[in-house]
Structure 1
Amino acid sequence: MCKPQSLVFLVIGGILLALVPQRLPAQVQSPEQDSDPAWESRLGAAAMLRPVSPGVDKYRLMPLPFVEVVYRHRYFLSTERGLGATVVAANGFSADLALHFDLGRKEDWAETELRGLGDIGAAPVAAATLRYRNGGYTVAVKGRRALGSYDGLRGESTLARQWRTGSGLVLTLESYLAWADSATMAAFYGVDAAQSLRSGRAGYRPGAGLERWGGRLRLMRQIGARWGVAATLDYGVLLGDARRSPLTSEDNQLVQAALAVFFRF
């Protein structure tokens, strides 16, 4: 376990590095000059820092592969988006269906903060995203359903603004509002009778409702002909029953910090 400062500073450093102006090699073509290949691939390595559980002031640093493979602008395999396909794409509207994997939560990730709560099992997650793009703006609604374990549903609505520059920089600012059903809220914020007995905490039964609002900064920068760097910072504020949970020690929290280096094929 670790505190968030180390990777946050590294992510900020990556962002500053990516913002440094640089001239792309002469052989790198603009998007208009590139042919339209069937496959688009970015592969690399990443590190991600996130809380052991929402609202808990203890963090896990996880090494991850960075994968972003797209076939004919429709089928994709992605560390972030999962395995799926764009089933509708017309007039700025699109709809994606995908399968992710939720690692759940282990009590021994934070032996003090999660003592007596038991584990939340890992499970595949079915996801659907509806999106509308107009210029640099994107509005989206996302839903994720755990297929097993806590069998819960999470949703999120987002508004994003993206900027692209001729130097290979893509910068995105995004605001979001997240909500969850009662099963998800009970799994991550609740304390049932057995957990209360084991942990000594008072019982708590949260209901469905708003979970968090927050903002994300995403950055991707091409460095040279093939290499690139990507960074994400996500900061959020817990709401409603999630905020009132006896498990919550941090209402305002770094939700995620991630940094990746990749090679574009």
Structure 2
Amino acid sequence: MTLDRKGKALLVLALVTVVAMAFRVSWNALRDVARAIGADDTAATLYPVVVDGLMALALVATLVLVGPDRTFALRVLGTYTLASLVLNYVHGLVPGLHGDSVDWGRLADWDPANYALVLLATSLPVGAIYFGSDLVAKILDHRPAPAPEPMPEPAEPASVPVAGRSMPVPVEPATDVPVLGPWTPVAELTGGTGGTGTGTGPDLYIPAEQDGTGLGAEPTPEPPEPSVVPPVPDPGSGTTGSGSEVRDDTVFGRQVGEVRNWLREEPELTGTAIGTRLGTSDAYGRRVRRAALHTAGAAV
């Protein structure tokens, strides 16, 4: 239970009241003991204030100090409380202390007890000076401990890549590439190297997907080709005519692969333009174009 400010004030007031009443009860006993050890009237009147006053000071120091200083204040409080209890007990056992019938310096009939009681009663004022000064110095030098700072929350550990484990690499979406639409295959010409005079006519009809109107263009009929196919020139060697059929097929297949790549980038490329790039006739260019389109359709 936590007391509020008003509750703490009432608690302190109750403590002061109890201490004051206890001080008044102990007053007569300590005053008579002081007279028995030779104190005059003024000293005997102040003697209870010295003893019980130091007890009150030690109580305050116990509430303020911490650690070893608090332990020291508790020891002082316990020692003076026990001494006051003994003197009050002697005052109750010796009726002569209540008046002037007791000899000066005589607190007990047994000499050792008398010597001890006189030593105790005379040492309390001197001890009050020493212990009281020490307790006041400790209270003035006391500094409250600073409030502990809140501990920061531990940060989450950063993820560390594990050695030997490859991190996923983001894959960019493939860009749109031109795709050849459906087409009608035309039988390859069996011979002839002659071509059109101008080479401007289309070789095949344009697929409907690639025509802007969506209707498609009608194929233009091919001019008749001669029945004799001349030898295919080899672009790499510069020789013509005398190579074997295997060599011709190899060159033709390589040229078909190149034209297929050209058509992927330029679908509108005509046979005339292909023949120009290959350094051959228009008819040969159309033949290679048809073969490239045919192989592209078969691959799809």
Q: Under TM normalisation by the shorter chain, which class is it?
A: under 0.3
If asked which structure has higher relative contact order (CA below 8 Å, sep 6+), I would say 1
Structure that is richer in helix per residue = 2
Relative to its length, the structure with more strand (as a share) is: 1
Give the TM-score of the pair, scaled to structure 1.
Answer: 0.21
Query: What TM-score do the two structures reach when normalised by structure 2?
Result: 0.19
